[in-house]
């Protein structure tokens, strides 16, 4: 079954048709930069262009950087706050005439990683999945079941949001070595480990490809820590999965 997965981000909006049975892309990923400031009209216009690019007329799944409940945006990170209160799924359906499911972007990425990536080995465990990019997104899974909209990147760690302490944006902005950044990430993971006691923590996002550069600094954490396999494809795949399986995130 083919579904169009869309991953809405603060810097880019990415999409591809996905075989939801295998997690494979059925066409080359298409990306359009997110127009500043990323308000609803701008983002919907980009999605309209993406749908036209693929000549798409089937189901759509869309991941969004913020809390999404029953298709409605409750918070917005790295895009315009004008999104708050907007029915994202309804706006996409109106613009494209395609049945749409919308959910948090980290939840989408986590769904894909648990089904097709590193997480598939943890069928009976408690897993914390993190997307580490400009910020930190999170998704909780208990025996493969998602607890949605956790938003742990905003949990305070020594007086700062976790993502402002150890997001990859912090590493790049401050030109931190992998050692210095790895120690900051360790602080954040230790808090998550203490509060939630997961069996495993899976690190996704762009830094998952560089895991060996900072792995040795992630010490004194009880959970098994592993890099994600799907990396930046996960959000697209998981959004498509949510649409096919009609996962309405409460």
Identify the structural domains of the chain with CATH numbers, from first to last: 2-106+233-244 (3.30.420.40), 118-229 (3.30.420.40)
The answer on pLDDT for 153 being more than 90 is: yes
Q: Provide mean pLDDT across the span 226-245.
A: 96
pLDDT at position 249 is 56
Q: Is the sign of the CA dihedral 53, 18, 98, 38 positive or negative?
A: negative
Prediction pTM value: 0.94
pLDDT in tens, 19-63: 999 999 999 999 999 999 999 999 999 999 999 999 999 999 999
- Mean pLDDT across the chain, nearest whole number? 96
The answer on pLDDT for 116 being more than 90 is: yes
What are the C-alpha distances in Å from 59 to residues 14, 29, 127, 174, 203? 16, 17, 29, 41, 29
């Amino acid at each position: 079954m083919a579904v169009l997965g869309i991953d809405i981000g603060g810097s880019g909006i990415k999409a591809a048709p996905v075989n939801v049975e295998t997690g494979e892309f059925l066409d080359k990923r298409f990306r359009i930069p997110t127009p500043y400031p990323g308000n609803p009209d701008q983002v919907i216009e980009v999605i309209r262009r993406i749908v036209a690019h693929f000549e798409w007329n089937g189901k759509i799944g869309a991941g969004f950087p913020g809390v999404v409940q029953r298709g409605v945006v409750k918070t917005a990170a790295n895009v315009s706050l004008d999104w708050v209160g907007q029915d994202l799924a309804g706006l996409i359906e109106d613009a494209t005439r395609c049945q749409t499911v919308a959910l948090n972007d980290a939840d989408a990425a986590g769904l894909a990683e648990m089904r097709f990536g590193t997480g598939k080995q943890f069928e009976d465990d408690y897993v914390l999945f993190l997307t580490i990019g400009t910020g930190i997104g999170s998704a909780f899974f208990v025996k493969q079941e998602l607890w949605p909209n956790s938003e742990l990147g905003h949990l305070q760690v020594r007086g700062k949001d976790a993502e402002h302490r150890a997001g990859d944006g912090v590493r790049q902005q401050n030109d931190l070595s992998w050692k210095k950044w790895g120690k900051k990430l360790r602080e954040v993971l230790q808090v998550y480990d203490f509060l939630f006691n997961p069996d495993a923590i899976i690190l996704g996002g762009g830094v998952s490809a560089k895991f060996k550069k900072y792995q040795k600094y992630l010490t004194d954490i009880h959970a098994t820590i592993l890099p994600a396999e799907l990396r930046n494809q996960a959000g697209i795949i998981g959004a498509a999965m949510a649409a096919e399986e009609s996962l309405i995130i409460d």
